[in-house]
């Protein structure tokens, strides 16, 4: 199974090698990186932000793959790229663009042993059941409204099923850990990860490894209880 790299967001240059380095290393020498951006009108500019970070981290060739808002990824557009980075933006729209082609995308990744990296929204949609937004549960606030992604109730939809955890992002910065716990309490998934910014979990053979400056919050449901463990740089995630 190709490696999967979950990035919780953040733009601290000092953290970039820990976040993007293992992804680029998995992609081979001077890899071509398909860089998928949901285009809300500024897609070229947004692509440039990630391309700059990737090039500063290691020799590589980022190529833009802009999917219009409301559109769907055509997996054929990935071509012979060596790796895929799914960037950040409006998470529900990323799920709409990617979940319908999850099977074809997984086949493409496996066929070339190509690594997948997801930044913010791209990390959230890597899950089987993806937390795409919302800030209230049954009308009760569980996280700041600004983190709601234009949704009211906490919303979980189909994702890419690349990792065994339900994933939320910008955890410490946006206060999203309660949203993840809400999703776990009300859904079929019993495992979750909430990632701080400038923090990543790099997954190989089903085992993750935390990297970066913040915390990866692992949550596991057992009956009606949910246990939360904070994991830091170098810690394993199972």
Instruction: Give me the active site residues, please.
Output: 120, 145, 170
Give CA–CA dist 210/222, Å, rounded: 23
DSSP per position, 30-45 = S-EEEEEEEESS-HHH
Distance CA 82, CA 78 (A): 9
Rounded to the nearest 10°, the torsion over CA 51, 52, 54, 55 is 110
Token pair of 116 as six digits: 């997948």
Token pair 């199974």: residue:
1
Burial (CB < 10 A; 0-12, 13-18, 19+), residue 14, is: exposed
Residue 193's DSSP bridge partners are 167, 218
């Amino acid at each position: 199974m190709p490696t999967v790299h979950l990035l919780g967001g953040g733009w601290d240059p000092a953290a970039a090698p820990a976040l993007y380095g293992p992804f680029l290393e998995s992609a081979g020498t001077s890899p071509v990186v398909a860089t998928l951006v949901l285009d809300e009108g500024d897609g070229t500019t947004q692509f440039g932000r990630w391309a700059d970070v990737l090039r500063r981290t290691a020799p590589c060739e980022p190529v833009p793959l802009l999917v219009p808002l409301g559109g769907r990824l055509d997996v054929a557009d990935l071509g012979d790229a060596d790796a895929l980075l799914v960037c950040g933006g409006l998470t529900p729209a990323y799920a709409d663009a990617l979940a319908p082609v999850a099977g074809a995308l997984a086949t493409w990744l496996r066929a070339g042993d190509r690594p997948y990296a997801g930044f913010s929204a791209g990390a959230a949609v890597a899950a089987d059941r993806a937390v795409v937004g919302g800030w209230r549960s049954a009308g009760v606030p569980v996280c700041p409204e600004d983190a709601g992604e234009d949704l009211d109730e906490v919303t979980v939809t189909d994702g890419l099923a690349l990792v065994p955890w339900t994933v939320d992002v910008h955890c410490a910065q946006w206060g999203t850990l309660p949203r993840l716990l809400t999703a776990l309490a009300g859904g079929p998934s019993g495992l979750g990860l909430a990632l701080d910014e400038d923090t990543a979990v790099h997954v190989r053979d089903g085992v993750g490894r935390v990297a970066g400056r913040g915390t990866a919050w692992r949550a596991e449901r057992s009956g009606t209880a949910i246990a939360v463990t904070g994991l830091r740089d170098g810690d394993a995630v199972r």
